[in-house]
Chains A and B, each alone.
Chain A
Amino acid sequence: MIDMPLLPLIILMTSLGAAPVLLALPERSARLRTGLNLAVAAVKVALVIWLAWKAAHGVVYDLRLSVLPGLDLHLQADPLALMFVALSAVLWLVTTIYSVGYLERGPHRARFFGFFSLCVAATVGIAMAGNLFTFLLFYELLTLATYPLVIHRGTAAALRAGRIYLIYTLVGGLALLLGTLALWGLAGTTDFVPGGVMAEVAAERPAAAQALFVLLIAALGVKAALVPLHGWLPIAMVAPAPVSALLHAVAVVKAGAFGIIRVVYEVFGIELAQGLGVTGPLIAVAAVTIIYGSLRALAQDDIKVRLAYSTVSQVSYITLGVALAGPVAAIGALAHLIHQGVMKITMFMAAGNLAEGLGVKKVSQMDGVGRAMPGTMAAFSLAALAMIGLPPFAGFVSKWYLAQGGIAAGQDWVIALLLGSSLLNAAYFLPLLHRAWFRDATPEAANAPARRKISLWLAAPPMVTAGFVLVIGVLANAPFSPLEWTRFIVTREFNGGL
C-alpha cells in the first residue's frame, strides 16, 4: 500500500470538507444528502481502518503547520488518538444512518447535517490533536458546531438550553484558552508528550503547576460534566435524539474526558500529577460526580434526562480511572471511554425510537413498551444491563478493571464506590426494564395509534450498537478488541509499567 503522510488530515477533511457542501445543499435534495452523508461516513471508517493498520505497522503520522512562532497546528495519530478516532468514525456512521431516518422530512436538514458533519470533524480533530493548542482549536470548533444542533428545534426551550450550553462551554473554552496560554508561557510548549512536559516547571514553581492543573481540569470538566460543572448536560436534552446520542457517546462529553486523559498523562504526566498532589482531589470530584449523577438519575421521570444524569455519572468513571494513576485503572478508564460510548449511544437511539414511534418520553409511560417495540427495547435492555455492569457485557469489563485499578492503587474504597454506583445504576435502570417487559400497557396507550412507523433506518442502529456492546464485552480479551487496544496504549503511557 502506498504511504500517505497526509492521512490524518484526509480523515479530518472528509467530514470537515463535507460540512460546507452539506450546508449548501438545498433542502429538497434529500437523496443526494443521504448519499453523501453515508458515503463520507463509510469512507471515513475505511480510512480510519487504513490508518490504524498503517500505524500498527509502525508508520508515524505527524503533521505540523506553524501558526505562530513556535506554535504549531499539530495532527498526530498515536494509539490514543486512533482509539478515539475509530470510536467516533464508527459511531458517526451509525448515528448518521439513524439521523437520516430520524429527520426524514424534518425541517433544516441541510443545516443539521452540515453541523453534524462539522461536529464529527471537530471530534476527530480533538482526537488527533498533537498539542494542547490544536486541541483547543477543535474543542472550540466542537462547541460552535454543536450549538446549532442543540437548538435545532428552534423553540424557546431549545434556545434556552443552547444558551446555557453555550455559556458553560464557552466559559470552559476561555478557561482552556487561558490554561493553554499559561502552559505555553510556563513550559514553552503545548505538545502532548507521554510523561508530560511540566516536570521542570513543577520543580521550580509547584504552585503554578498546581494552579494550571486545576485550571485545565476545570476547563475540560465543563464538557466532561464533572459536578458541579455538569449543569448544561441534562438541559441540553431538548436536542433531537441523534444529537443527544452523539453528544453523550462521542462528541462533547467524551471530548472533555479525552482532554482530561491527555492533560493528566501527556501534559503533566501521571507521576508528576501525583507528586503535585492533584490527583487526590480529582478522584474525590470524580467519586462525588459518580454518586451524585446516579442519585439524580434515580429521581428523573423523563427518560432522556435520566440517561443524561447517568452519563454525568458514567463519564466520571473515566476521570476516576485516570486519576487513580495506575496502569490497570487507566485501562479501565480508556476502555470505559469506548464502552460507555457504545452503550449510551444505544440507549439514546432506543429512547429516540420510543419517543418517535410511541410518543413515550417518560419512564412512567413505559408500561408494556417491550411488547410494542421488542427490537428497540431489547437493545435498550442489553445496554442497560451492560451499564449496570453485568457480565459479560462491555460495562462489566471496564468496571472490573476500574475496581482492580483501585485495589492496585491502594484505594480499596473504590470497590465500594463502584458497587454503590452499580446498585444505583440498577435502581434507575431496572424499573425501566420492569415496566417495559413485565407490565401491561395502559389501555389508552395500547389503543393509541402508533405515532410513526419506525423505519429500518431508525430500528437498526441501536440493535447494531447493542451488538457491539455484547461483542466487545464477550470478546474483550480477543486481539484487536478495544480492551486490547487500551492495554497497548497504557503500556505506552506508563512506559511498559504493566
Chain B
Amino acid sequence: MTVLLAFDLLLAASIVGLAAATLLMRDAFAMIVAFIVFGMLLALGWARLVAPDVALAEVAIGAGLSGALLLRTLAHLRGGGLSAQGGASVSAPTNGATQGINALLAGLATCALGLAYLGAPQNVPGLEAHVTDAMPESGVTHPVTAVLLNFRAYDTLMEVVVLLAAVIVVWQVERGLAETPAPALGTVYQGFARVALPVAVIAGGYLLWIGAEAPGGAFQAGAVLGAVAVLGLLSRHVRPAPAHRPLARGTFVAGTAIFALVALGVSGAGRETFEYPPAHAKTLILLIEAMVTVSIAATLAALFHGREPVTVATGKETT
C-alpha cells in the first residue's frame, strides 16, 4: 500500500511537474510534446484511480488528438516546418511584476481551493448506488456507458452537439486561403499506414462494441477511427475535395441527428424523451453509439484537417 502510495505521490508530482514544465518550455514544439507526455501520465493517474474509460479517452483524445491538432497548428504557424522558432503572440509579454502577481494570485487561489478540498468530506456517497440500482434497466452492462448513453444521455447528446458546433466553426473560420499544405508523411509511413489502417478500423469497431460491457465506447472508438482518418489524411490516402462536402456534412451531423431523433422518437406514450423502451435499449444504444462513433471520427478528422474543402485559386490541390 505504501509503495503504491509512494508511486501515486511520485506520479502526482510528475503530473504537476510536467504541467509546470509545459508552461515553462521555451520552445513551442517542446511545449506541445511536454503536454502530450503530460496527458499520458495523466491517463496513467486516472488508471490508478480505476477510471480506465477516462484514461483511454485522455490518451486518445486529450493527449493524442489534441497533441496532433497542436502540432499541426504549430506547423502552420511556422510555415510548414517544425524547426523554426516562434509562434504568434497574443500581445506584448507581460512584465515580471505582473507575472509575479499573477503567480501569487493563482497560487493563493490554489491554496484556498486546496484547503476547501481538504475540508470537504471524503468518500461522500456519490451516485454509484443509484447507478448500480438502475443498471439492469439501462440496456448495457458497463456503468460508464450506461451513464453516458442512458442516464445522462442528454449530456452526451449535447457533447456531440459541441463537436458539431466546433466543426461548423472551424469550417467557417478557415477557408483555405494562403494555405500551407499539411505535412505529408514519407513513403515509409505510407506503407505503414496501409497496414495500420485496417487494424485500426477493426480496433475501433471492437472498442465500440466492447463499450457496452467493458471500458471503451463511442468516444474512444471514434477517436481511434478518427486517428485512422487522420492517418489517411496525412498519407494523402484521403484527399478532401469540394465534392466531399455534402457527404462530410452528412457524416458530421449523422450522430447528432440520430441521437436526437431516437431521443425524441422513444418519447410519448408515457415515456419521457431519452427513455428507451427496456426491450430495445441495447439496440438503440448501439445504434446511437455506432452513428456517434462515425460522426466523431469524421468530425475529429475534419477538425484535424482544419478547414472546409473549397476550390482554391491556385488550383494545385483542394486542401
Give yes or no for direct A-B contact (beta carbon below 8 Å).
no
